[in-house]
Amino acid sequence: MQTFCQGGESAIESVVSWVDVEVLVEITSLLATRLNEQAGSAGVRFDVTVKLEEKERKSGLVVVLFGLVMRTKPNVVKYEVEGTATLTGKDTLIDQLLKVDPKSNIPFVFHRVYQHVFTAIYVAASLMNTVHPPSDLLFAGKQGAVQPGASGLGQNAQPAGNVTQAEVKPAVR
């Protein structure tokens, strides 16, 4: 399994192989709201808020609830996605995936979660005839900023993004 990152190997690939930990992503809620009819010729910027909370932990298994909110500036569209990610594998490797990546300020497991979420958002954006985020929005560059020349830009989307909040809550034991 390969993660998407502009300019070579991503941080997650140097931490753990995706083969060692299985991540099953299930979307439970997807809301796309078109806030403006036109994206405008100036393009848009995506601001992102992510949330991750452990729901269940057993030996070799962790279930986390995730939330992702993406808003464009100027206000063109807002996406809200919630769901669960079930991680199975060795406990030490699962713990590595739940740590926050200091470069992007989001948990490593969001590399896999966003791959799944992006597909759903892309379909919703296409149906609503509005802009979609880049496929590598959370992974390229510092603080989730997409580097110039990144692929997967939606119509009139500029290659820029910002993770405004990342929160990780462990399960209550």
pLDDT above 70 as % of the chain = 66
Give whole-number Cα distances, 1 to 4, 8, 64, 115, 142, in Å: 10, 15, 21, 11, 23
Q: Which two tokens stand for residue 162?
A: 């910002």
Chain segment 12-28, per-residue pLDDT in tens: 444 445 678 999 999 99
Q: Which two tokens stand for residue 123?
A: 């379909």
Chain segment 25-73, per-residue pLDDT in tens: 999 999 999 998 765 546 788 998 989 999 999 999 999 999 999 999 8
Q: 65-71, long-range: CB within 8 Å, 24+ apart, which pairs? A: 66/110, 66/113, 68/110, 68/113, 68/114, 68/117, 70/46, 70/121, 70/133, 70/137, 71/46, 71/47
Domain ranges for the chain, please list them. Answer: 11-165
* Fold of the 11-165 domain: Bacterial Protein-export protein SecB (3.10.420)
Write down the pTM of the prediction: 0.71
